[in-house]
Amino acid sequence: MADGAASFGARLDAAMSTRGALCVGVDPHAALLRAWGLPDDASGLERFARTVVEALADRVAVLKPQSAFFERFGARGIAVLETVVAEARAAGALVVLDVKRGDIGSTAQAYADAYLDPASPLAVDAVTVSPYLGFGSLRPFVDTALAHDRGVFVLALTSNPEGPSVQHAVAADGRTVAQTVLDEIAAVNAGVSPLGSVGAVVGATITGGTGHDLAKVNGPLLAPGLGAQGATPADLASVFGSALPWVLPSYSREVLQNGPDVAALRHAADTVRRQCASALGRPA
């Protein structure tokens, strides 16, 4: 454990206990900026993202900005992202930057330094990463995260319909590609209590009993795909089975479409948090 702080897994576990299991994505789609009456430029981006932070950062466990929506405004967009990350963390939310990185090891280290070293201007609590250059290529992310009490969420069973063509492919030893990813995560998290700092991304849309062993991951299971992509809290039990205690449900558009009214954003987040709590068997 670094810096005398608690591990990301421990901080997330505590946040899910005190604030409830909910991640809200900060996804400033152009269409949402329009719907909020904002210009599709860096000033509109800033108003949008800071309103979400004002509404939700003091009450939800996790905020998850989607990096591309900030990057599309260049340096000004990145400056907004830095502000949003700092304000969200100051208000007590954990920040997971959805940036889906993955590269050869030497370059992966530079990405890890950019997002997971507290000395970086863009340091966050955790990032999303892609294992499809081989799980071993993620070692710099995992090592840097653990050294600084940060986390990573590794794409395993993504919510998009194209995912299974790669992730359900069967490797030489008979496991699916996704199961090999889940097993690698489990190995990193083995023996860690209360929760490992390496999570898996498992879409709530992955219904139909895929037979993957999620319970032994011993880390958080980020579950996007709820709301706008069609999955509902009622799907969580069949997708996650005995792994329900580790599920972190994630919504973006379903909540964001209620802005810019702060009270309406709070009400929407509270509604989905309660619906998910009931599905996950957590206190409301």
- 66-78 b/e (C-beta count within 10 Å ≥ 16 → b): bbebbeebeeebb
Looking at 113-121, 209-217, 235-243, 251-259, which segment touches ligand OMP (CB under 6 A)? 251-259
Report 203-232 residues binding ligand OMP (CB under 6 A).
203, 224-225, 227-229
Closest Cα partner for 183 from 209, 160, 205, 154?
154
- In the bound complex, what is the minimum distance in angstroms from residue 248's beta carbon to ligand OMP? 11
For the beta carbon of residue 180, count every other beta carbon within 10 angstroms: 17
**HEC profile of 95-149:** EEEEEEECCCHHHHHHHHHHHHCCCCCCCCCEEEECCCCCHHHHHHHHHHHHHCC
Considering only 7, 51, 159, 176, the residue that binds ligand OMP (CB under 6 A) is 159
Q: Is 216 a catalytic residue?
A: no
Strand partners, 62: 23, 94
Instruction: Say whether residue 179 binds ligand OMP (CB under 6 A).
Output: no
Q: By C-beta, is 227 or 233 nearer to ligand OMP?
A: 227
Taking residues 184 to 203 in sequence order and writing x for each that binds ligand OMP by CB under 6 A, - otherwise, the string is: -----------------x-x
Q: Return residues touching ligand OMP (CB under 6 A).
A: 25, 27, 66, 98, 128, 158-159, 201, 203, 224-225, 227-229, 250-254
Catalytic residues: 100
